[in-house]
Structure 1
Amino acid sequence: MQRPSLRFSRFLFLLLIGHMSWFSAIAQRWTAQQANDWYKTQPFLVGANFIPSTAINQLEMWQAESFDPATIDRELGYAESIGMNVMRVFLHNLVWEQDAEGYKKRIDQFLQIADKHHIKIMFVLFDSCWNDEPKLGKQPDPVVGKHNSGWVRGPGTKRLFDSRTWEGLEQYTKGVLSAFANDKRVVAWDLFNEPTNSGYNDAVLPLLTKTFVWAQAVRPSQPITVGSWHDHPLSNDLMYAQSDIISFHNYAEAPKLEAQILDLQKQGRPLICTEYMARTRNSTFETCLPVFKKYKVGAINWGLVKGKTNTIYAWDAPMPSGEEPKVWFHDVFRPDGSVFNPKETAVIKQLTTGK
Structure 2
Amino acid sequence: MTAPEPVRTTAAADPRGGRPSGPLHPSADGAPRRSRAMAFVALTKPRIIELLLITTVPTMFLAAGGFPPLALVLATLVGGALAAGSANTLNCYVDRDIDAKMDRTRERPLVTGEVTPREALVFGVGLGVVATAWLALLVNVLSAVLALAAIAFYLFVYTLGLKRRTSQNIVWGGAAGCMPVLIGWSAVTGSLGWTPLVLFGVIFLWTPPHYWPLSMRYARDYSSVDVPMLGAVERPGLVARRITAYSWAMVACSLLLVPVAGTGPVYTLGAVVLGAWFLVEVHGLRRRAARADSSSEPVATAGAMRVFHVSISYLTLLFVAVGVDPFVPWW
TM-score, length-normalised on structure 2?
0.28
Which one scores higher on RCO, CA 8 angstroms, separation ≥ 6?
A: 1
Query: Highest CA radius of gyration, 1 or 2?
Result: 2
Higher strand share: 1
TM-score, length-normalised on structure 1?
0.27
Higher helix share: 2
